Structure 1
Amino acid sequence: MDQKTFAMQFEALLEKYAELLVGTTDKDITEKVKMYALYTHIAKTMPALTRHWNALYPDAKDEMKELMAEIKRLNEVHRNTKADSQA
């Protein structure tokens, strides 16, 4: 498989993840979900790196907190909407 095909297929995976997580595949939201997923993974696998980055870039840390809160809020709305439609 060539790199371009793999990249397109991986992008489709990310779009589906965003759709299942927050209910949309909007490009901006998908990009935020991508950052959310990567940051979460880094924080779990290399917490010292995350702490170092947070200390080095406090403004970015605040931006990441806002992004994570937005993803959490969108996920809750999506879950509630989905639960209401199934009831």
Structure 2
Amino acid sequence: MGGPLKQHRALSHYLKKTMLRSPLQLSNFRWLWFGQTFIFSASQFWFVALTWLVLQKTGSGITLGTVLMATAIPRGLLILLPDN
């Protein structure tokens, strides 16, 4: 007796404990968020360092454009691939 009601209460308790909390309170999500933030920041620093290095070494806007195009083309092509 009371099977469905008991299951409903258990589900409600589970949702309150896990799903309805702030995502940063969940350890796995917090690690994912920090990792993604770190990787994104590192890639932005790499982009700035690359452009600075090319301009320091060559001083040429054409060379800088070529290097930036060479980094953008693979990104553009890979973004078109389906996500499996």
- TM bin, normalised by shorter chain, reads 0.3 to 0.5
Q: TM-score, normalised by structure 1?
A: 0.34
Q: TM-score, normalised by structure 2?
A: 0.35
Whose radius of gyration is greater, 1 or 2? 2
